[in-house]
Amino acid sequence: MNKKIIIKLKGANMDIDLIANGKVKWVQDKCPWSEVDGKEHKCAIKNVSLCKYFKGIEEPDKVLCSYPIKINNKSQNEK
């Protein structure tokens, strides 16, 4: 059986956002921070910065975000 090996490499320099545009043909969720304050936030801006809520990428294209949103009057970060 072939086992898929995935290694984690640090230092990626990339642009990541959840901002819809005409070139993207797949469904995108919206940034919860942008939804709250109406500003256009980006997860990562090449050569510039990383969002303080950006926690990585999960295969194949999911952004891991720790923005403290409320779901049923509880913070998503509450246990």
The answer to whether residues 17 and 28 touch, using CB atoms and an 8 Å cutoff, is: no
The domain in which residue 67 lies consists of 32-75
DSSP 8-class letter at 57: E
Q: Hey, what amino acid is at 23?
A: K
pLDDT of residue 24: 84
Number of domains in the chain: 1
Asked whether the CA dihedral 46, 50, 56, 57 is positive or negative, the reply is: negative
Residue 61 lies in a domain: yes
Give the confidence band of 62 by pLDDT, cuts at 50, 70, 90: very high
Q: What is the mean pLDDT of residues 7-28?
A: 89
Q: What is the mean pLDDT of residues 58-75?
A: 80
Q: Hey, what amino acid is at 69?
A: I
The three-class DSSP label of residue 36 is: helix
Residue 20 lies in a domain: no
Residue from 40, 31, 38, 36 nearest 66 by CA: 31
pTM of this prediction? 0.74
